[in-house]
Amino acid sequence: MAQAFAERLRTALPAVALTPRTESGLMPAMVVTVAADDWAALGSAAHGLGARWSACWVDPEPDHWRAWVLYELGGAYVLAQAALDPRAPRLPSLTPVFAAADRPERAIRDLLGVVFEDHPDARRWLRHQAWRAEVHPLQPGQPLAGAPPARTPADVGYAFRKIAGEAVHEVAVGPIHAGTIEPGHFRFAAVGEQALTLETRLGYTHRGIEKIAVGRDAAGLLRLAARVSGDSTVTHAWAACMAMERAAGCAVPPRALALRGLLAERERVANHLGDVGAIAGDVGFSFAQMQFGALRERWQRRSAERFGHRLLMDTLCAGGVRTDLDLEGTQALLQDHARLRAELAPLTAILLDHPSLEDRLVGAGVLSAADARTLGCLGYLGRASGLTFDLRRDAPYPPYDRLPVRVPLYDSGDVAARMRVRLDEIGVALELMDALLAALPAGPTSTHWEAPPAGARGLGLVEGWRGETLAFVRFGADGRVARYAPRDASVFAWPALERLLPGNIIPDFPVCNKSVNGAYAGCDL
């Protein structure tokens, strides 16, 4: 599949002379190498074929830097690389071709000083006031401690886009929001109650994850990966494991893979239960919020009882998992699944035909299929707007390679559709977990982990509850991580929120936001 995609790119670009190859650590992607000058031409060719821009990262290797960009087309991946001059790293921007590349490129510019030529937006993104414009903390020579001011001033002076008009007023919210949520800044332009535009400004929870990953061993990296975004702890840990294991050629035992699948589906169910309740709560339907809150609580308690952690943190290790299930545990989980199904049926019926709920959710926060495609939206966000991609089905990795994965699909793109997808996905996850438990392979839950030699690199791709999630790892000497680049699916959620909000009233912002539920931490790193 990847081969055919690479072949089509080669045909589309006769002047570039692409030579697609494979590299075991970077499977299932085909790798192509281009000159930096051909970066945009390759992007245009990929766009012309209908490919999706999935991720971009830059790896400051010892002798030269390397830029990577990942494209996906119908479940086939092509990973392109270009060498950069560390003294003057520059690369043509892909943002004019792929809107999704916008903020990720600006983040790379802030952290590594790569100049993205023709990038339409010169404003910084992850950088606020903790480091100066000419300092790029992720460059290898920069000290971990940096040289921050004693008291980092507030980030005033970010040039939010201005909307002119007599009756237009601006509403500024954040970084601290009214409720218990992560920090970020929202800038609305509104006429009366109606929002004309929304611009989000993130970076408040930037914790320097990519920098503090450098020099860690596999276990240390996994502790960090598990905390990229706490609600996706299994997802990011799995992606990091997969990257390291592919880099090291480590064969993970089948039982461990099945358990990873089980843990990832448990994470999906927990988050969807919480979010469906929160969506209902945001429009004042506290009955459902309490019911789903109770279901989620019971689910988390079972996670703590069987896997040692309510959010399933630190349950994975390089080479396998750090947990196991006995027969009794398997039975308990199967009973839970049956019980949850039985409890969800009447609740779902209430949610789907409660008139006052319908009034608030149907037609609210519509993300068009065209916008979803342009922004590369993933997971439930894409599936509510007609995009069906799901790694578990379209580029299956074990244990999903032996399971049929149903992917719910809606096209109305509104809050109601996003809630529908989540309810459906709970059902799919329960089916998958039942199937995994029914055929749980015997054998060990982990294999001996041995770090690969310096230079080994690997790519991890996992369908988290928010959608395709990525990790790239390159090892340095002594089994220490030299580069860790995670990419959360939330990166595509925030631009989507900006597109779906205009035309809605500002009081509907919370429910629109909740239905999209991008992580701040996952983007800020």
Which of 60, 83, 61, 58 has the alpha carbon at shortest distance from 70?
58
Q: Applying CB under 6 A, does 227 fall inside the site for ligand SF4?
A: yes
If binding is defined by CB under 8 A, does position 152 make contact with another protein? Answer: yes
Give DSSP secondary structure letters for 467-513: EEEEEEEEE-GGG-EEEEEEE-GGGGHHHHHHHH-TTSBGGGHHHHH
What residues have CB less than 8 Å from 298, skipping those under 6 apart? 336
Subset of residues 63 to 82 that bind ligand SF4, contact rule: CB under 6 A: none
Q: Which partner from the list another protein, ligand SF4, none does 269 bind, CB cut-off 5 to 8 Å by kind?
A: none
Q: How far is the CB of 425 from ligand SF4 (least distance, A)?
A: 24
Tell whether omega for the bond before 28 is within 30 degrees of 0, i.e. cis: yes
Asked if residue 215 binds another protein (CB under 8 A), the reply is no
Stretch that binds another protein, among 24-32, 49-57, 242-250, 304-312 (CB under 8 A): 304-312
Q: Is 48 helix (H, G, I), strand (E, B) or coil?
A: helix
d(C-alpha 224, C-alpha 207), whole Å: 11
Which token pair is 9? Answer: 């790119």
Q: Which 350-409 positions form the footprint of another protein (CB under 8 A)?
A: 350
The nearer residue to ligand SF4, 108 or 263, going by C-beta atoms, is 263
Contact 306, 272 (CB under 8 A): no
Rounded Cα–Cα distance for residues 138 and 297 (Å):
39
498 binds, among ligand SF4, another protein, none (CB under 5 to 8 A by kind): none
> Omega of the bond prior to 399 within 30 degrees of 0, cis?
yes
CB 522 within 8 A of CB 490: yes
**How many residues form the binding site for ligand SF4 (CB under 6 A)?**
2
For another protein, what does the binding mask look like between residues 242 and 281, x meaning CB under 8 A? --------------------------------x---x---
Q: Residues touching another protein: how many (CB under 8 A)? A: 64
Given 207, 401, 402, 455, the residue binding another protein (CB under 8 A): 207
219 forms part of the interface with another protein (CB under 8 A)? no
Pairing mode of beta strands 65-73, 52-60: antiparallel
Residue 230 touches ligand SF4, criterion: CB under 6 A: yes
Contact letters for another protein, residues 310-329 (x by CB under 8 A):
xx-x----------------
Question: Which residues lie closer than 8 Å to 498 by C-beta, 6 or more apart?
Answer: 197, 198, 199, 200
Tell the smallest beta-carbon distance from residue 274 to ligand SF4 (Å): 15
Cβ at position 311, least distance to ligand SF4 in Å? 7
Q: By CB under 8 A, which span of 24-32, 59-67, 150-158, 425-433 interacts with another protein? A: 150-158
DSSP string, 51-108: PEEEEEEEEE-SSSEEEEEEEEETTEEEEEEEEE-TTS-EEE-STTT-GGGHHHHHHH
Decide if 238 contacts 256 (C-beta within 8 A).
no
Q: Which is nearer to another protein, 148 or 404 (CB)?
A: 148
Candidates 73, 101, 130, 482: give the one binding another protein (CB under 8 A): 130
Question: Rounded to a whole number, what is the largest CA-CA distance in the chain?
Answer: 70
Smallest distance, another protein to C-beta of residue 442, A: 33
Cα 334 from Cα 319, distance rounded (Å): 26
List the one residue out of 440, 484, 406, 24 whose CA is nearest residue 223.
Answer: 484
Which position among 191, 219, 304, 338 is part of the footprint of another protein (CB under 8 A)? 304
Q: Which does 212 bind (CB under 5 to 8 A by kind): ligand SF4, another protein, none?
A: another protein
Least distance between another protein and beta carbon 467 (Å)? 17
Counting contacts by CB under 6 A, is residue 310 touching ligand SF4?
no
Binding site for ligand SF4 (CB under 6 A): 227, 230
Summarize as ranges the residues that interact with another protein (CB under 8 A).
Answer: 128-131, 137, 142-148, 151-155, 175-176, 178-183, 203-209, 211-212, 223-224, 227-231, 233, 274, 278, 287, 290-291, 293-294, 296-297, 300, 304, 310-311, 313, 346-347, 349-350, 519-521, 524
